[in-house]
Structure 1
Amino acid sequence: MAKNKPYGDNQRIGAVKDRSQFQTPSGLWAKRDLNTGRIMDVKQDGKPFKGVTKEK
């Protein structure tokens, strides 16, 4: 994960690297590891992940 000082301010500068996200046919957003292609996580609230590149 990306880390930027000062710690504890709950902000990240820049995008998360080596990950992308896409929307599933059911409307949920899934996060994929670009190195292995495996799906890492799926959000249940229907909103995209913050700071993760979207696939086309």
Structure 2
Amino acid sequence: MATNGKAGDGYRHGAVRERSQTQTRSGHWVKRDANTGRFINVKSDGKPFKGVRKEK
């Protein structure tokens, strides 16, 4: 299970499960549910989600 850890660590402990991410043509990163394939969230700053595996 992914946790944010103790206060002040500044990084995530472990990986986010049952999620993946892919980059759109416009450069935004989209988080996807691995079970259903539905899109969950889109980041607008152009940086990938932390702790979420990338699709090939």
Counterpart of 2:22? 22
Q: Following the alignment from structure 1 to structure 2, what is the Cα–Cα distance between the partners of residues 27 and 5?
A: 29
Structure 2: segments with no counterpart, 5+ residues? none
Counterpart of 1:36? 36
CA offsets per residue over residues 12-41 of structure 1, 9 Å max, x none? Answer: 211100000000011100000001100000
Number of residues of Structure 1 aligned to a counterpart in Structure 2: 55
Q: TM-score, normalised by structure 1?
A: 0.82
* 12 and 27 in structure 1: CA distance in 2 versus 1, 3 angstrom threshold: same
Q: TM-score, normalised by structure 2?
A: 0.82
Q: Once structures 1 and 2 are overlaid, which stretch shifts more, 8-17 or 35-44?
A: 8-17
C-alpha RMSD over aligned residues: 1.7
* 44 and 11 in structure 1: CA distance in 2 versus 1, 3 angstrom threshold: same
